Structure 1
Amino acid sequence: MSLGPYVIDARSGRVGQVMGREGGYVQLRPPGGGCEWDCPPEAVAPAPVAEELRARVRAVDQEERLP
């Protein structure tokens, strides 16, 4: 499965990676993994470059810690 871009949930300011769509919502997952959450499409905004870079670093760090 191809992972989507990092975005901001404008309701909470949380950064998440787009995992897909379900029932009219965008499903987001925190950088490095964790529990997905649903976000209405109108509350999804592109992540600023600095936030996206931080998210990518966290995801790589998490992958390196896994056995």
Structure 2
Amino acid sequence: MSGVNAAEHQQEPPQVPSPGTLLVDTGHRNRVGEFRGVSGPYWSLRPVCGGTEWEAEPAHVRPPEPIERLRAETARCNARSAGRIL
């Protein structure tokens, strides 16, 4: 018996981000989306260029790397200038 409590090995649930925060969903091929809110045990994310929200498991979500953030922000600016989003 190791004397280690099993509860000590459980991970803390991730802290809920602010709406609009860019996140990467590793459960959906590293798809980048904006955090929209909590839906039961899932987080709702929306594509940065608009579109249908999807639900992600918080354990599969991480902050974007600088290049992922740059690509997402550039895509959003291009979509806005083309009139696809407001």
Number of the residue aligned with 2:79: 62
Give the drift of 1:24: 2.1
| Identity in percent | 35
2:53 to 14, 32, 36: 36
Aligned positions, number: 66
Matches within 5 A, 1:1-67: 3-11=19-27, 12-66=29-83
- Structure 1 runs (4+) greater than 4 angstroms displaced: none
If you compute each CA radius of gyration, which structure gives the higher value, 1 or 2?
2
Highest relative contact order (Cα 8 Å, sep 6+), 1 or 2? Answer: 1
Structure 2: tracts of 5 or more residues without a match: 1-17
Q: TM-score, normalised by structure 1?
A: 0.82
Shift of the alpha carbon at 1:19?
A: 1.4
More strand by share: 1
The aligned amino acid for 2:78 is D
Q: CA RMSD in A?
A: 1.8
Unpaired stretches in structure 1, ≥5 consecutive residues: none
CA separation in 1, counterparts of 2:41 and 2:76?
26
- TM-score, normalisation: structure 2: 0.67
Once structures 1 and 2 are overlaid, which stretch shifts more, 14-23 or 46-55?
14-23
